[in-house]
Structure 1
């Protein structure tokens, strides 16, 4: 706590003490309602004693470097309310000492006034008594701070009990013993779960800093898990995530991610995912703090993904894994004989946890860990990478630079369920970024790049072999995003997309249309060759059928048919599928909503009439 903060809290407490002293002097000179004034003084004296105890506690806590900082939020609220009630007491008691009959008549005092005042003072006594209990300011614990969780209800929070619970939990997390802090963090997480109002109260009452401090308790994984869980529940909108960022939470989370047990790392990865999902600034901060490398490291700690990949040529993912296992055994032998890793392999040769002095301890822990825990860690890391890559070219570039692409491809090949899905979604975001950025696309998806080959191979496998729309959709989108990277000879990419035009799931078919549209659009240098390939693989009849499915497939289907007509208008397949008729009979409502589509359809009709005028020349007047 800084000196300025100390002065502020001292000022907050000194004012009600000053008013209480004034009440004492006013009671001494009161010449009416002396009995009532005496009762008032008894309550004020109790308040005075508790206020002084609180001042001494605050001063002692501030002066002791080893002591945790005092939790100020309830002190300020209760001190302000107490000062207000003491002002009322001073004003009422002063009315009992009026020198003239005129003043006594004008400032008439009744017994009811005293009853009301005593009720207010009783409330302040209850508030201060509760406050001292949650701070343990009366010496209830040997440590002199944090008396454990207090769930009683102070009068100030009688209309909102959640507030008093939040105060108690936060005070315990900030000032209590470790076991109490863990319990309080779990209680705070329970309050925050699925309740935005509770989240707002926790944030407003300064719950983030003590949770971040608890997250750094490396000696207690249980404490770290409790803190990370509470923070995850809080990090579900931009404003709350920004609060965590502003409290310098990002470097703390990255440190925990790099140097903790697997169960803690899982929670830290979940927190990265939540923060990156809701706040672009958090995305940037995590990248700046180099969070991507430990995430890829944890995702691929049992895989070989180093620079030697260029030497391994076109070997399959399975063969790479076998090589990884053999080289890992050799690495362990080298370490046991030399007492160190030696010079045989660079630090980047294996993406296992060697980011700290505790790396080998964590490695041993991972080997003995429950497979379910290992799987959950990878699931969480994959989701974190997905959220970091989402809409971010720079983060996508960092993932490809850490050899994350090959790792993602291998996991898509070997895993199932949530891990496979998260890896596919990460690839989808990376390819989307590559579509919008030429430099990233050229660097990460070169035709002779083993990671790029591995990724494309798995994407095509998912499209062709996996009957699951939830997996096929990101795979189809990813291939579409990479449309400009494929040569005219790579027709094996076109065929699976054309096949998905007949998928019984309309969403998969719609995304296949969109993906093929990126191959055939004029901005693609090879649009003519790709258009001919789409026609050769019998894509036109399926496209014409999809024009009747829904508005999405109709719009994108019309766009793709127009591209095919413009780039391969003399194809007999277009005539046989009655594409000209389909374009002329397209839903005018859809065309009207999209002026660019209206112009495109008109151009396609004109172009087709050049080749098929014998059948449809009378309908060239279609031009809108």
Structure 2
């Protein structure tokens, strides 16, 4: 309730007060007495209904009951109050003692007929309102159409569903949330109506029903459909939904966790501010834990052949105890596990579902990992804090392993997450040095998989993020790491021009002046026969021409004396470059003339030597 809204009891007190005035005015009427008595019957009926609603409001305030859903109450009470005001004004006109006033304020039977129609409509609205508020009646969801919503039936359905979710029995709440999700799925107008009619708070409350996974799934599904717009996501955030979602993610059954991960992905995709709230609640940790929950046992199994018989028995016993959910045995399960993955753990109760997860359907396990990987991707996108948290929770090793073993959507989501992390590292030297040190096992594992995807996977959808990630890490590679440049140069010949262009962009980051090893990298690029591939790239579309020219200029600046550049007549190519292309891209306006001047110096020197040898 906003600060400028009245209490619901105060909202209901006004029409009750006016109804009492109607009663007094009817008693003193001296004309149209029969019609006035009919008006009072209708008003009296409304008065009784208002008293019923007041009792509902008092009961929910006094008892530990769910709060009353106020949106339809306020709307219907306001419309009904207008009709009671009309009744009061009309009845007062029948109490004019002066003949002059009777003539001026002429009342006809048609006025009463019109008023009675309005009062009947208000009575129908109030009857419908009481039906949705009376959750103990056992009637379930009321899908009847009150007159107030005759022009927009969806409004009455939204009111009924939200009222049931907020105040109904658990079974009815699940059904109402499912129906609300169907409405939200239809179109954006329905979504906006649900949010405007305060549908988010009861859905978040239903999401906390840990005793009912079906209720949590229904609520999370509805919220996912709502969270495809900046304003609606901001409502979920403002209603303190982020802590609830993170708690559900780490402390629920697998199907619920999948929906919660999807919700995190949708919210962070459409609202950049949501990144900060999820970072504050450390949503990365449970996501990484869920992404790697079946890798921990695999790591223990891989070490079995290195242990003696006593160690084998001890590890086996500890693994059995862990499957029973004992927290003490979790601590004993190798200090290496607690040291490596202690920061990955979410809430302790989340581990109670580990055995359930191990016995779940493999398809469901895969879907959970896909959802978690997508959520990490969206959390890392444009967020330095979340990217750091992923690297701090050993998430990089997990992502590298999944890229190595998995395929399809899961592999793609993991690659995109790595791409966002490397982009953050490119923009922050401190983070880059901390997360991608040359001797770091996670960094090595990631780079190995990026190179493997670049060389072995013949799919632009996977190659482009892998190449882009390598380019973002260009400043971390030493000069001796020539296999990276060789791999990128090979992609300049890729039949897909987008992949070739991405390779040129990545190589330009190796050869650009900002890179401390630009000279060494430029020479290595030329040694791997990149010049010929660049010449072919310049004959493609404008995008490849742009990035090809940039790389060619860097090579000319840092290895201008190379015979490969002279043999390919790079100077002639640069001098004949498209002037319109250079004019439209500011980075080329100074770069191309500088590269031409640099090549002219080398060529001029060679011509001078030839003249001196042949006088």
TM-score, normalised via structure 2 length: 0.93
Distance 1:470 1:6 in 2: 52
* Contact persistence 1:225–1:263 (CA under 8 A): yes
Q: Residue 492 of structure 1 aligns to a residue in which SS?
A: helix
Aligned to 1:407: 398
**Could you say if the C-alpha distance between residues 437 and 353 of structure 1 is closer, same or farther in structure 2, counting changes exceeding 3 Å?**
closer
Q: 1:323 aligned to 2:303?
A: yes
Distance 1:329 1:63 in 2: 60
Q: Which residue of 2 aligns with 1:314?
A: none
Cα distance, 1:596 vs structure 2:
3.3
- Within 5 A, what are the aligned runs for 1:432-451? 432-451=423-442
Q: 1:350-369 to 2 correspondence within 5 Å?
A: 350=341, 355-369=346-360
Indicate if the aligned counterparts of 2:294 and 2:358 stay in contact, CA closer than 8 A: no
Q: Secondary structure at the match of 1:239?
A: helix
1:620 alignment counterpart: none
What's the secondary structure of 2:478's corresponding residue? coil
Other-structure match for 2:188: 196
| Of 528, 553, 577, the match for 2:519 | 528
Task: Give yes or no for contact 2:344–2:394 (8 Å, CA) kept in 1.
Answer: no
Alpha-carbon distance change, 331 to 62 in structure 1, aligned in 2, over 3 angstroms: farther
- 1:92 is aligned to 90
Aligned-partner Cα distance in 2 for 1:259–1:125: 47
Q: Is the counterpart of residue 140 in structure 1 residue 141 in structure 2?
A: no
Contact residue 475 and residue 515 of structure 2 kept, 8 A: yes
Give CA deviations for 1:343-370 in whole Å, capped at 9, x if unaligned. 4534344579964453453111011100
Q: Could you tell me which runs of 5 or more consecutive residues in structure 1 were left unpaired when the two chains were aligned.
A: 142-146, 306-317, 618-624
SS at match of 1:503: coil
Distance in 1, Cα, partners of 2:463 & 2:365: 26
1:55 aligns with 2:61: no
Matches within 5 A, 1:143-542: 147-304=139-296, 322-323=302-303, 331=315, 333-334=317-318, 336=320, 340-341=328-329, 343=332, 345-346=334-335, 347-350=338-341, 355-542=346-533
Note closer, same or farther for the CA distance 1:390–1:68 as it changes in structure 2 (3 Å cut). Answer: same
The alpha-carbon deviation at position 148 of structure 1 amounts to 2.4
What is the CA–CA distance in structure 2 between the aligned matches of 1:353 and 1:537, rounded to whole Å?
42
The alignment covers a number of residue pairs equal to: 597
1:266-291 CA deviation, whole Å, 9 max, x = no partner? 11111111111122221111111111
In the alignment, the residues of structure 2 paired with residue 238 and residue 270 of structure 1 have an alpha-carbon distance, to the nearest angstrom, of 16
* Structure 1 position 572 matched with structure 2 position 572: no
- Higher mean C-alpha deviation, range 496-505 or range 216-225: 496-505
Change beyond 3 A, Cα 1:481–1:16: same
Task: Check 1:300–1:69 CA distance in 2 against 1; reply closer, same or farther (3 A cut).
Answer: same
User: Aligned pair 1:551/2:542, yes or no?
Assistant: yes
Match of 1:315 in 2: none
What whole-Å deviation, never above 9, does each CA across 1:404-460 have from its counterpart, x for those lacking one?
000000000000010000000000000000000111111110111111000000000
The question of whether the paired residues in 1 share the 8 Å contact of 2:403 and 2:411 is answered with: yes
Tell me the SS of whatever aligns to 1:152. Answer: coil
Question: Can you list the C-alpha shifts for 1:508-563, whole angstroms capped at 9, x where unaligned?
Answer: 11111110110000000000011111111111111122122122111111111110
Q: Which runs of 4+ in 1 moved over 3 A?
A: 4-7, 318-321, 323-332, 335-340, 346-361, 613-617
Q: CA deviation at 1:584?
A: 1.4
Q: Sort the Cα spacing of 1:561 and 1:103 in 2 relative to 1 into closer, same or farther, 3 A.
A: same
